[in-house]
Amino acid sequence: MELWIKKIESASTLEELESLRVDTLGKKGVLTIEFAKMKDILAVDKKSFAENLNRQKDQITKALDSKKIELEIIALDKKLQFEKIDVTKFNNELSCGAAHPVAETMNRIINYFLNLNFTVEEGPLVEDDFHNFQALNLPEYHPARDMADTFYNKDYTLLRTHTSPVQIRTMLSQKAPIRMIAPGTVFRRDFDITHTPMFHQIEALVVDEADKISFANLKHVLVEFLQHMFGEVEVRFRPSYFPFTEPSAEVDISCVFCKGSGCRVCSQTGWLEVLGCGVVDQNVFDAVGYKDKSGYAFGLGIERFAMLIHSIGDLRSLFESDTRLLGQFKWLLQEDG
Ligand code: DAH
């Protein structure tokens, strides 16, 4: 039996150990054969014969068990060594994400105005009638309220239809001078090739003492800004109407696709409308209790900017989360460094 024990102790693999188990304790194993001899042993000798065999069986079983544990540990160590992962290794196949064109355009605009010392202000998406309309010189029954197809809630709150209410909140909580932008989400009941029910705007407001801020300041800032965003474009101001500014203007740039000669995108006009602006109406200052102040404001839609900058044809594709579209903007990340 000692021979078997020695063999077990020197087994070097789990397979070898298993075959030794079969050779000793298996159906045709040496010990099993010895046990079978019991029936031929004289009754007087049976007890000591059985005791002897059981002792041997115990020794073999213990040797097999402890060797098994030892070999399993060795096998696991080997496996761990073989399977270890080098987390510092560079994997060329990993693909990185891309900035969404709306987020990227938004960030570009925010950074531009941060460099001009504007602050970034925020307001709630669920607004009330006062901030979204009344204080912006849009009293009840004012026909200009039709411009916005508003989502109303049962409790008379509403989803803000523009970022202009942030002007009101900022003036109510801060003293002039103010130089702020308010980027954010806005909502309107509209859905077609040029409208989605949720989209993004950036509002800007500059306020200082009376007569300090004029339309000329507004014009200068906007021409510089639009040429920064679109390159060498022409900029024109068209007289328009917004309740919160007087005078008001809509601003066009020469078409970025046909350079002003006329194409399908600009409806053959050579011009693309990009934002609304004006000199802050006195009624707005009255609503927030500002006395002897002057200022300008403007507001723009981020999606429109993103579509013109990246030649995206259908506004809705910006919200479909199609990674084939988003994948085309990876270079924006690289450019940002
Ligand atoms: N709130 C306007 C809109 O949603 C955009 C706008 C136009 C904002 C003129 C302004 C402004 O501050 O002066 O269409």
Q: pLDDT tens digit string along 274-295?
A: 999 999 999 999 999 999 999 9
Which pLDDT score is estimated for 336?
Answer: 46
Which pLDDT score is estimated for 39?
Answer: 85
Which pLDDT score is estimated for 41?
Answer: 86
Phi, psi of 121 (to 5 degrees): -110, 155
* Nearest-angstrom CA–CA distance, 122 and 184: 8
CA 82 to ligand 1 centroid distance, Å: 64
The whole-number average pLDDT for the span 58-75 is 93
* Nearest-angstrom CA–CA distance, 123 and 200: 13
Alpha-carbon separation of residue 235 from 260, 268, 270, 303 (angstroms) = 11, 17, 12, 19
Local confidence band at 63 (pLDDT 50, 70, 90 cut-offs): very high
**Can you state the angle between helices 302-310 and 215-230, rounded to 10 degrees?**
40
* Nearest-angstrom CA–CA distance, 259 and 213: 32
Residue 163, amino acid: T
Burial bucket for residue 48 (CB in 10 Å: 0-12, 13-18, 19+): exposed
Adjacent-strand bridge partners of 127: 158
CA 34 to ligand 1 centroid distance, Å: 101
| Angle value at C-alpha 134, between 133 and 138, nearest 5 degrees | 70
Give tens-digit pLDDT for 206-229. 999 999 999 999 999 999 999 999
The whole-number average pLDDT for the span 34-45 is 86
Local confidence band at 334 (pLDDT 50, 70, 90 cut-offs): low
**Maximum mean pLDDT: which of 5-14, 33-42, 109-118:** 109-118
Peptide bond between residue 139 and the one before it cis (omega within 30 degrees of 0): no
Q: Among 277, 279, 280, name the best residue to mutate to test ligand 1's pocket (greatest count of ligand atoms within 8 A of Cβ).
A: 277
Local confidence band at 195 (pLDDT 50, 70, 90 cut-offs): confident
Cβ density class 144-165: b for 16+ within 10 Å, e for less: ebeebebbeeeeeebbbbbbbb
User: Which pTM value belongs to this model?
Assistant: 0.72
CB of 263 closer than 8 Å to CB of 234:
no
The whole-number average pLDDT for the span 240-254 is 97
CA 114 to ligand 1 centroid distance, Å: 20
Range of weakest confidence among 21-35, 93-107, 190-204, 238-252 = 93-107
Is the pLDDT assigned to residue 111 strictly greater than 60?
yes
What's the mean per-residue pLDDT of the chain? 91
Which pLDDT score is estimated for 88?
Answer: 85
Structure tokens at 8: 């077990």
Closest ligand 1 atom, residue 201 Cα: 4
